[in-house]
Amino acid sequence: MWLRFWNGLFKRLQLRESWVIFFALGTIMLNYPFVQIFNRTDTVGGIPLLYLYFMGGWVISIFVIYLFTRASSLSGDHQDEGEQR
Amino acid sequence: MILSIELVTGVSLLYIVFLFMVAYYADKKREAGKSIIANPIVYTLSIAVYHTTWTFYGSVGKAATTGIDFLLIYLGPTLIAFSWWFLLRKIVRIAKENNITSIADFISSRYGKSQWLGAIITVIALLGIMPYIALQLKAVSSTFDILCGYPYVQLPLLHGNFPLSLHTNFFAAIILAVFGVIFGARRLVSSERHEGLVAAVAVESVVKLAAFLSVGIYVTYGLFDGFGDIFSRISSQGKLLDHLTTLGGEGETSYARWFSTLYLAMGAIILLPRQFHVMVIENSNEEHIKKAMWLLPAYMFLINLFVMPIALGGILQTGGILGADFFVLTLPLRNGHSWLTLLAFLGGFSAAAGMVMVESVAISTMILNHLLMPIIVSLNPRPWFPRLLINLKRISIFVVVLLGYLYQTVVGETFMLVNMGLISFAAAAQFGPALIGGLYWRRGNKSGALAGIILGFLFWAYTLLIPSFIMSGWLSKSILDQGPFGIALLKPTELFGLAGFDIWTHSVFWSLLFNVGAYLACSILLDQSDRERDQMRKFVDVFKAKANGVPWETKRMSKPVTIMQFVTLMSKFIGEEQAHTAIAEYLGNREINEQGGVSEFELPKLKRFTEKTLAGSVGAAAAGAIVESYLSDLGTRMEPVYDIFSTVQASLAESREALYVRLRASEIMNRTLDLQIIMDDLLNLVLKEFKLDLAVIRLIDGSGMLRVRSYSGKGIAGITGKDWEPESETYIGEAFLANRIQFVNDTQYIAKPISRELMKREGIKSFAHIPIARKGEQPLGIMSVFSKGIVGLFNEPFLNLLESLAGQLAQAVKIVKEMEEKERERAQKERALLDHARVVNEMEIAKQIQLSLLPSSPPTLPGIAIAGRCQPATHVGGDYYDFFLHGEHGLDLVIADVSGHSVGAALIMAETRSVLRAQASSDKNVDAILATLNELLYDDLTAAELFITMFYVRFNTENRILSYANAGHNPPLVHRDGMTTCTEIDADGLVLGVRREVFFEHRSISLQEGDIVLLYTDGITETQNREGEFFGSARLCDILAANRDRSADEVVEAILREVGTFCGEAPQNDDISMVAFKVLSVPSVDDINESPPQMV
C-alpha cells in the first residue's frame, strides 16, 4: 500500500502544476495573514512558536523539494515536456 | 583579550595560500579534462557564496535587534528553489547555447544584443553592488580590529594622521581585489568559466559553515545548556523575547517589510551578478541544479540554525545589543577561546573574500564587455588586444572593489550590515522584470527593458541610495525632511506622499512599479526589430528551438568572406592559438569547397559561430558589434535573403509555393512528349512564379556545344543569342563540367572576368546555372535563370527547387532522346529492308531475264537428243549455254561460265550471247569463233575485270563428227556406248578476256550411236558435301554410265538429283549448268516427241 502511495505521489510531483502549487502554498504560508496564526508569544517546549514554525516549515520544504527532485529524476525522459506545453 | 596581529595575519596568509592552491589544482585538473568542480555538491557550495559576511555576522546582529525577520533572506531563496528546475534550467540552457558571460550579457542578448542595455545594466550593477562590497570590507576590517585591537596599538609606526580604521579597510580592499585578479583574471579565456575560482569559493563555503556551526554549538551547548535554556533565560528578561519572536507589533517588523524583504531575497539569489555568475555561467551540468535545489536550502538552514541562540546568548552575555553584529567573534573571544575566534574570523573572511572575488570578477566582466568593449570595438583590432583586454579586466576588478571602499568610507558606520546588503538587493531586483519577462513573454522588447530598468534604477537611487548618503551626513538632511527644494511631494522616503512604509518597502514599491509598468507599456506600444525577434526566439523557445527552427538561412552575406578572415578576427580578441582550436573544432564535420572556403549558405553559420566564440570573451553585444564592424570593413554585410516563397515556413520542410511549382512542373512533363513544348512551358512557369527576368535552357549537341534550345522572358541578345562551349572560364561551363549548380547572388562580386563583363553589360544582378542532369549522371544541358532586380535571390530552398526541376527536365530530355534514337533506328532498319527487297526484286527480274536468255528448249534435230539445264546459285548467275543450228545437219553447242555471280557477270553473259549469236551464224570453225569472240569481248571483259571459260562444240548428225574448241573450260565428258568409263575431250585454249590474241586448238572426234556427251560447268564437280568432299567428275561419269540407256533429259535429271542428294542441306555455292546430248540411231518422230522442251 505504501509503495502505491509513493508511486502515486511521485507521479503527481512530476507535474509542473505541482511545483507551482507548492510554490504558491509556500508563499501563502510565509505571508500575512497566514503567519498571523503563529504570531503569538506562546512557546512550545520553551521555544517560541513562530520561530519553531519557520524552522519546522523550512525543514519540511527542503524535504518536499527533495521529493520533487527525486520524482523528476525518475521521469528523466519527460523533463522537457513541461516546457513545451 | 586580543590576539596578536602576527598570528591573525599569519593564519590568514596561510589560508589564502591554501585557497590559491585549491584554485590552482582545480585549474590544472580542468586542463587535464578532469573537472573537480563538475559535481552538484561543489555547485551547491559555490551558490552558497550568497552567504556573505552579512549572514555570517549580520544575521546575528539582526536577530538580536529586530528578531526573527533575519530568516527572510534565506526563506526567500528556499521558496524560489521550487521554480529552479524550470526557471534556472531554462536560463542555464540559454546561457550555454549563447555563450553568455554575465547577467548584463544575458538580458542585453535577449533584447537584440543591445549594447545600451548591457551598458546600463553594468552601471546599475556597479553602483548597486557598491554598498554590498562596502559591507564586506567593513566586516573584514572591523573583525580584524576586534581581534587585534586597533592596529596602531600594535603597530604605531604605520600610523600618521589618518582616520583610525583607514589602514585595515584599505588593506582589506587591496587584498580582496588581488584575490579577485588572481582567481578570476589570470588569463583571458574564451568562455567565462573559472574553475579555480569556483573551487576556492566552494572551499570557503565549507569553512564558513564549519566555523559558524562550531561557534553556534559552542555558544548553545558550551556557554549555555541548549536551545531551551537560552530561550527560557531570555524570556525571564521580560518582553525582549516576545519582541524578537513576533511580527507586526509596535516597533517590530511590519508585514509590509516582511513581504518586501522576502521578495527581494527571492530575486537576489539569482539576480545579483555574482549569484548569476556561479549559478548560470559556472554551471557545468543542468542536472546539478536538481541536487542544488534542496542542498542549498539545507545549507542555509544549517548555517541559520544557531543564529538565534548566538544572538540571544550574546545579549545574555553582554547584557545588551551593542556590537551584536560581531557576537560570533566576540563571544568566543570574551571567553578566551582564541582558536575558535580565529576559526570564526576565517569563516567571516571566507564569506567576504568569496563574495568580493566572485562579485568583482562578474562585474569586471560586465564592465569590460559592456562599457569598454564598445569603445575598443570601434578601434581597429591590433595584435596586442588580448593583453589589453586582460589588463582592462584586472583594472576593472580593482575599480569595483575600490568603489565599495569609497562607499564605505563615505557612508561609514551609519548602517547596520544587513541594511547595507538590502540596498544592493533592491538594485538587483530591477533586473527581475526584464529577465523573467524575457524568458517567457514574446512581446517583451528592448525599449521596454531599457525603459523599465532605467526608471527602476532611478527610483531605486532616489529612494535608497540618496537617503543612505544623507544619513551618513554626506548630503544635506533637509532633503530628507522637507524634500528637495522644499517640495514635500519629492521627499526620497515619502515619494509622492506615500508615507507610513519603511524605506525598503517604499523603494521596492516605487522602483518596481515604474520598472514593470514601463517594461509592459513600451513592450506593448512599440515593435521588436528583426534582430530582437531572432534573439527572442532563441530565448523563449530554447527548449524547442531544435525541433522546428527555420530549416534554412534567412540571411546572407552580401560579399563572401573566407574562413581565414574570421580566424584573423577571432585571434585578435582571444589569441591565435585559441582561435585556431575553435575553428578547427567548428570545421571538423563540415563541407569545405575546393577553394578552401565554405559555401555561401554556411557563411551565416560561420559568422554566428565567430560571434558566439567572441561572446565568450567579450559578451554577446560586443561580439556582435565586433563582427559587424569587421564585416563592414571588408565591404560586406548581412542582408535578408530575398524571400522567394513569400512565406517563411518555420515548420514545413518545403513551402506551399515550392510544392505547387513542383506539381505544375510534373504536369508539364507528363502532358506531352514534345521536348520543345516541355522546355517552353517549364521556363514560363519558372518565370511566372519567381521574380526572374530571363530563363534559358541550353542543351549539349552532337558537337559538344551548349546550344540555346528555349528561353522565356525578355530576350537578351548577349545571353540568348550565345551558345557556349563548356569551359571552366564561365560559370555556365563550370556548372556543366563540374555538374554542380553555379550561382552568383550579387554580380558586383563576381569572380570570372568573362561573366562579369557580360552581366555588367546586361544589368544582371544575380543568376544561377543549374545542370540538367539526373542524379549521378552527366548533365545534358544547363538551365540558367537571371534576375535584373534582385540581389541575393538564390537561397538554399530555391536552388534545391530549381535543381529538382532541372532533374525532372533531364528525365524528360532523356526520354525524348531515347525515343528519337529508337525512331531513327527503326526507320533505318525499314529503309534497309526496303532496299533489300527492291534489290531482291530486281535480282529476281534479272534472273528471269537471264533465264530467258538461255534457250527455252533445245532444238530438235534428227539423230540427236539434247537436254540443257541451268540452276543458278544466286538470283543471277554467270553460267550460259546455247544451241545454234548450223545448216541442216549441223548443231553448235556452247557452254560458258563467266567468273563471279554478279549482275556484271550476268550482263557480260548477255553480251557474250549476242556476240556469239552473231558469230555462230557465220561459217567459221569453232576455233575461229572462239578467237573472234575473245577479240570482241576482250575490252569489255578487261574493263569489268571478268573473264569467261567457254567450250564450243559442233556436231554433224550426218557423219557424227564432233568438232570442238575450248577456252579454258572444264572438259566435257563423253560416255561411249558399251563402255563403263568416260573420256574427257579437251583442246588447248586460254580463257576469254585474258589476252587479246589467243590461239584455240580445233579438234574433233567421231561419235557413235548411244554415245552421251555431257558439257557442264564446274558448279557440278565442285559441289561439296558436309564433310567438304567434292562431287568430282568420277561420280558424274558413274551417273552417265548408270543412265546410258535413258534419254538425255533423264540423264540431266538424274545428275541434278544426285548432286542434290550429295550436298544435302548444304547451300548451293555455284551455278550449276549442263547440256547433255545423246547420239541416236534413226531419227524418228517418237524420239522428238519423247524429248519435250525442258526448262528449269
- In three-state form (DSSP H/G/I as H, E/B as E, the rest C), the secondary structure along B196-260 is HHHHHHHHHHHHHHHHHHHHHHHHHHHHCCHHHHHHHHHHCCCCHHHHHHCCCCCCCCCHHHHHH
Residue of chain A with shortest Cα separation from B259: A31
- C-alpha gyration radius of chain A: 16
> Cβ separation of B544 and A45 shorter than 8 Å?
no
> Cβ separation of B262 and A46 shorter than 8 Å?
no
> Cβ separation of A23 and B291 shorter than 8 Å?
no
Q: Reduce the DSSP state of residue B534 to 3 states and report it.
A: helix
**Amino acid (1-letter code) at residue B337:** H
Q: Rounded to whole angstroms, what are the CA distances from B428 to B12, B258, B293, B353? A: 31, 18, 21, 20
Whether residue B120 lies within 8 A of chain A, CB to CB, comes out as no
Q: How many CB pairs under 8 A join A and B?
A: 105
pLDDT at A84: 38
Q: Rounded to whole angstroms, what are the CA distances from B984 to B668, B975, B981, B1024? A: 84, 9, 10, 22
Is the backbone peptide bond immediately before B163 cis, with ω within 30 degrees of 0?
A: no
d(CA B186, CA B201): 16
d(CA B777, CA B783): 16
Residue with cell 506539381: B663
Residue A76 in this model has a pLDDT that exceeds 70: no
Beta bridge partners of B26: none
Whether the Cβ atoms of residue B626 and residue B614 lie closer than 8 Å to each other: yes
Residue A81, min C-alpha distance to chain B (Å): 9
- Residue A23: list chain B partners with CB under 8 A: 79-80, 82-83
d(CA B438, CA B445): 8
Q: Best mutation site among B245, B250, B289 for testing chain A: the one with the most A CBs within 10 Å?
A: B245
**Amino acid (1-letter code) at residue B496:** F
Q: Best mutation site among A23, A58, A59 for testing chain B: the one with the most B CBs within 10 Å?
A: A58
Residue of chain B with shortest Cα separation from A18: B82
- Residue B44: list chain A partners with CB under 8 A: none
Whether residue A18 lies within 8 A of chain B, CB to CB, comes out as no
Residue ranges of B 30-69 with Cβ closer than 8 A to chain A: 68
> Cβ separation of A65 and B90 shorter than 8 Å?
no
Residue of chain B with shortest Cα separation from A66: B294
> Cβ separation of B543 and A84 shorter than 8 Å?
yes
pTM, rounded to two decimals: 0.66
pLDDT at B456: 93
Tell me how far apart the terminal alpha carbons of chain A are, to the nearest angstrom: 32
Three-class HEC string of B450-479: HHHHHHHHHHHHHHHHHHHHHHCCCCCCHH
Residue B281, min C-alpha distance to chain A (Å): 21
Name the domain count of chain A.
Answer: 1
> Cβ separation of B248 and A46 shorter than 8 Å?
no
Residue A27, min C-alpha distance to chain B (Å): 7
In chain B, what's the furthest Cα-to-Cα distance? 189
Could you list the residue range(s) of the whole structural domain that residue A54 is in? 2-84
pLDDT at B719: 75
Helices (H), B763-855: 796-853
Beta bridge partners of B270: none
Whether residue A35 lies within 8 A of chain B, CB to CB, comes out as yes
Residue of chain B with shortest Cα separation from A23: B82
Query: Beta strand B982-984 with B973-975: parallel, antiparallel or unpaired?
Result: antiparallel
CA angle B22, B26, B27 (to 5 degrees): 120
> Cβ separation of A69 and B301 shorter than 8 Å?
no
Whether residue B230 lies within 8 A of chain A, CB to CB, comes out as no
Whether residue A81 lies within 8 A of chain B, CB to CB, comes out as no
Q: Reduce the DSSP state of residue B1078 to 3 states and report it.
A: strand
- Residue B308: list chain A partners with CB under 8 A: 51
The number of beta carbons lying within 10 Å of the beta carbon of residue B900 is 16
**Closest Cβ opposite residue B78 in set A47, A58, A66:** A58
Whether residue B339 lies within 8 A of chain A, CB to CB, comes out as no
Whether residue B247 lies within 8 A of chain A, CB to CB, comes out as yes
DSSP assignments along B82-136, one per residue: GGTTTHHHHHHHHHHHHT--SHHHHHHHHTTT-HHHHHHHHHHHHHHHHHHHHHH
What per-residue string of b and e applies to B347-365 under the rule 16 or more CB within 10 Å gives b? bbbbbbbbbbbbbbbbbbb
d(CA B365, CA B125): 12
Whether residue A61 lies within 8 A of chain B, CB to CB, comes out as yes
Residue A13, min C-alpha distance to chain B (Å): 12
Beta bridge partners of B1074: B869, B1016
Whether residue A46 lies within 8 A of chain B, CB to CB, comes out as yes
Whether residue A24 lies within 8 A of chain B, CB to CB, comes out as no
* Cβ-based neighbours of B640, under 8 Å, separated by 6 or more: B530, B554, B555, B556, B792
pLDDT at B552: 53
- Run means of pLDDT, 10 residues per run, chain B, 1096 residues: 76 87 84 80 90 84 82 87 86 86 88 88 89 84 77 44 56 83 70 78 92 91 85 77 68 76 88 90 86 90 90 84 82 85 89 88 86 78 75 88 84 63 87 91 90 93 84 74 76 78 86 93 88 83 61 63 78 76 74 60 78 76 77 70 51 62 82 84 83 85 84 75 78 83 79 78 84 84 85 77 84 84 92 89 79 81 85 74 83 86 79 83 83 87 87 88 90 84 86 87 88 88 82 85 84 87 77 86 52 46
d(CA B1002, CA B927): 5
Q: Which helix (H) or strand (E) holds B1039?
A: helix B1032-1042
* Cβ-based neighbours of B883, under 8 Å, separated by 6 or more: B855, B858, B859, B866, B868, B891, B892, B893, B894, B1075
Residue of chain B with shortest Cα separation from A81: B543
**Closest Cβ opposite residue B294 in set A27, A54, A65:** A65
**Closest Cβ opposite residue A58 in set B68, B75, B85:** B75
DSSP assignments along B26-56, one per residue: HHHHHHTT--SS-SHHHHHHHHGGG--HIII
pLDDT at B250: 58
- Residue B247: list chain A partners with CB under 8 A: 35, 39, 50
- Residue A36: list chain B partners with CB under 8 A: 248
Whether the Cβ atoms of residue B1079 and residue B1007 lie closer than 8 Å to each other: yes
Alpha-carbon dihedral of residues B661, B667, B673, B675, nearest 10 degrees?
Answer: -10
The number of beta carbons lying within 10 Å of the beta carbon of residue B576 is 14
Whether the Cβ atoms of residue B359 and residue B129 lie closer than 8 Å to each other: yes
* Cβ-based neighbours of B1083, under 8 Å, separated by 6 or more: B861, B862, B863, B864, B957
Whether residue A58 lies within 8 A of chain B, CB to CB, comes out as yes
